[in-house]
Structure 1
Amino acid sequence: MKIKIRGELLDYLIQLAKDFYPNEFGGFLREKNGIFEEVLIIPKGYFGKESIYFDTWLLPHDENIKGTVHSHPGPSPRPSQVDKKFFSKFGGVHLIIAYPFEAWNIKAYNSDGLEVKIEIID
């Protein structure tokens, strides 16, 4: 399995991770024509040093929301057990951007927590 993401969006997500540091940030990814194009940041989210929380009831009804993204303030882009539990409930694709928040330290996972390849589209 491979996901496609717009390069401009990936750059923006990296910048968000840097801006929120030392806290985590998180959002939902919107896909158009098989390519992730936009991120939605849910209002009233909690972005802490070790976890994030957002109320998914505040998510708009949008069938194009196909994934999530969040940052790890530490150097590991591997999902925690809490991440894997969330992945299994939300489904789709999940990006983790780890410190120092560069493209080489981003990983994507499916709803089972298995890594999938990322293709950057210009």
Structure 2
Amino acid sequence: MNVVRIRRELLEYLLELARDFYPNEFAGFLREKNGVFEEVLLAPNPHFGTTSAFFDLWMLPYDENIKGTVHSHPSPSPWPSRADLHFFSKFGGVHLIIAYPFTEDDVRAYLSNGNPVRIEVVD
């Protein structure tokens, strides 16, 4: 995979969530439809802190359309931490990180192995 596609409305909503949760992180799961990320699902029973986000994966509904994750970094670093890479390796798919100050330029996408992927925003 060389590129991940995301609907503009979803990206704008994710940026808004990152700003609203600041200075804490937020995290969610991305639903894909026809090769484009269209929706975010916030996990049940979340704990969003200043350095991490936790949730109960066992409470997620079975959904074949969940193809990725998203979380924010309340710092300007868009790079995955060791904990991020560990989570990526367990969950699979594409993983978005939205770094402070939470603009479109502060969003990065990674594969499960931590390799970056280009983001294409679609209308």
**TM over 0.5, yes or no?**
yes
Distance of 2:69 and 2:59 partners within structure 1: 15
Looking at structure 2, the residues matched to 79 and 118 of structure 1 have their Cα atoms a distance apart, in angstroms, of 16
* Offset at residue 66 of structure 1 (A): 0.2
**Residue in 2 that maps onto 1:10:** 11
- How far apart, CA to CA, are the structure 2 residues paired with 1:25 and 1:80? 15
Deviation per CA, 1:37-88: give whole Å up to 9, x if none: 0000012100000000011111110000000000000001000000000000
For residues 113 and 54 of structure 1, what CA distance do their matches in structure 2 show?
21
Stretches of structure 2 lacking an aligned partner (at least 5 in a row): none
How far did 1:26 drift? 0.2
Q: How many Å separate the matches in 2 of 1:58 and 1:3?
A: 26
Give the distance between the partners of 1:54 and 1:44, measured in 2 at CA.
6
State the match for 1:80 in structure 2. Answer: 81
Instruction: Tell me if 1:68 matches 2:88.
Output: no
Partner of 2:116: 115
- For residues 69-117 of structure 1, give each alpha carbon's deviation from its aligned partner in whole angstroms, at most 9, with x where no partner exists: 0000000100000000000000000000000000001000000000000
- What SS does structure 2 have at the residue aligned with 1:116? strand
Distance 1:97 1:34 in 2: 21
Q: Specify the SS of the correspondent of 1:79.
A: coil
The root-mean-square deviation of aligned C-alpha atoms, in Å, is: 0.4
Separation of aligned partners in 1, 2:27 and 2:43: 9
Provide TM-score, normalisation by structure 2.
0.98
Question: Take 1:105 and 1:62, find their aligned partners in 2: how far apart are those partners?
Answer: 28
- 1:101 is matched with 102
Give the number of equivalent residue pairs: 122
Unaligned runs of 5+ in 1: none
Letter aligned with residue 30 of structure 1: R
| Aligned-partner residue type, residue 75 of structure 1 | P
Percent of matched pairs sharing the same residue: 66
Which consecutive aligned stretches of 4+ in structure 1 deviate over 4 angstroms post-superposition? none
Q: Deviations over 1:7-39 (max 9, x none)?
A: 000000000000000000000000000000000
